Structure 1
Amino acid sequence: PMPMEQAIIKYPSEHRPKVIYTSSEGTINITFNPTDTALEAEELPDFVEQMADILRSVQPIRNWLGTEMVTNCSGLSVGQIRFVAAGIDGNLYNEMLLFIHNGRVVIGSFSCLEADLEVWLPVAEYWVQSLSVLPPSIYSTNEKGMTTP
């Protein structure tokens, strides 16, 4: 889990993702952010395209790689948005995942330095395929993302 001090710097908005995992160097990040946006499954493809339009208008995008809808091995419908954007330490590969959980959109993201993309792209692809929605846990989650009984 990314320490809160680092999360505040890397994601300065008060609306930073709720769950952020990072590599020890802070160069690989995976986030999940449940939203309050209610959506039906058949509305997800249009929502993904709307999000892509917003991203293209507000992000310093260096290379737009596109959008795609996939159904992963657990049967979850996932919208993907991929692009390379300028970052502080160099260009960053970004992959956003949008899926529906309990009738609400969840936005996930994977990012790594563009220079490391060849190594990390298989991980991003595996992440999409391994994603599944689990029933509620009996464990609570603390602010650092770890579970406690």
Structure 2
Amino acid sequence: MDQRVDEKILDFINEVEKREAKKDICNGPVKIGERYYEFEESEFFDEKLKIYIPKDFTDMSLEARKLKYPSESRPEIIKCNEKGNICITLNIIDSPLNEENVGKLKDGMKVIIKKTNPANVFYEDGVLEVDSKNIGFFDFKSYAIDDSLYNIMFFLEFEGKTLMGTFSCLYSECQQWRECAFQVIKTIRIMKEDKGDEN
């Protein structure tokens, strides 16, 4: 009898540990590094795009934007933690894109980034199917003035144009963030315009 109780306790502990290990950003707070983050669904581009991001990420200040993204074509949406060293960006590029060409675009962008910064170290790349949309992605390590960064770039078709997103954090925190960052990408939903159906 005692053994059964012990097994139940062990099962319970194993379940908790499994849940911890299998972090699910859509289902309550998630421990990343030393703290817990709560993710919530946020809406962008006139509520046409929904994506889960950490609740306490805020819009990056204009001064910080200018420093971090010196070019005038900086992303339209930059959400970051309070230190500004973990960022999620979204940007619509006025360049036509359809579902079939997402993979080609991803390959082309990777080539450009390799040429611009030959020191970058590339890891995975591929095309995910999320909510019946193709999302091309690749992740890489880049070098900033005083540190190295971990980046994920992703691309999808949005109203016939190219939507480009990035996730970046310090390379030293990449192990803690990588899985959750990919989960963020997998929560992307594009709202179809339903005129007749309010359901």
Please name the residue that 2:169 is paired with: 112
Q: What is the Cα-based RMSD across aligned positions, in Å?
A: 1.4
Residue 54 of structure 1 aligns to a residue whose secondary structure is: helix
Indicate if the aligned counterparts of 2:114 and 2:120 stay in contact, CA closer than 8 A. no
Percent identical across equivalent pairs? Answer: 27
- The runs of at least 4 consecutive aligned structure 1 residues that moved more than 4 Å come to none
Structure 2: how far apart are the matches of 1:135 and 1:19?
A: 21
Please name the residue that 2:104 is paired with: 46
Please name the residue that 1:24 is paired with: 82
Please name the residue that 2:196 is paired with: none
Please name the residue that 2:180 is paired with: 123
1:43 shift after superposition? 1.3
Indicate if the aligned counterparts of 1:93 and 1:117 stay in contact, CA closer than 8 A. yes
The 5 A counterparts of 1:95-110 are 95-110=152-167
Please name the residue that 1:77 is paired with: 134
Indicate if the aligned counterparts of 1:99 and 1:106 stay in contact, CA closer than 8 A. yes
TM-score (norm 2): 0.65
Which amino acid is 1:117 matched to?
A: C
Structure 1: how far apart are the matches of 2:160 and 2:186?
A: 21
Change (3 A) 1:56 1:62: closer
1:132 shift after superposition? 1.1
Change (3 A) 1:89 1:25: farther
Indicate if the aligned counterparts of 1:83 and 1:94 stay in contact, CA closer than 8 A. yes
Which amino acid is 1:21 matched to?
A: K
Structure 2: how far apart are the matches of 1:3 and 1:41?
A: 34
Structure 1: how far apart are the matches of 2:181 and 2:101?
A: 24
Residue 82 of structure 2 aligns to a residue whose secondary structure is: coil
Task: Give unmatched runs, 5+ long, in structure 1.
Answer: 137-149
Indicate if the aligned counterparts of 2:92 and 2:162 stay in contact, CA closer than 8 A. yes
Q: Does 1:37 align with 2:119?
A: no
Count of aligned positions: 135
Task: Give unmatched runs, 5+ long, in structure 2.
Answer: 1-58, 194-199
Which amino acid is 2:173 matched to?
A: D
Q: Does 1:59 align with 2:97?
A: no
Which has the greater radius of gyration? 2
Structure 2: how far apart are the matches of 1:135 and 1:32?
A: 19
Residue 115 of structure 2 aligns to a residue whose secondary structure is: helix
Structure 2: how far apart are the matches of 1:94 and 1:76?
A: 22
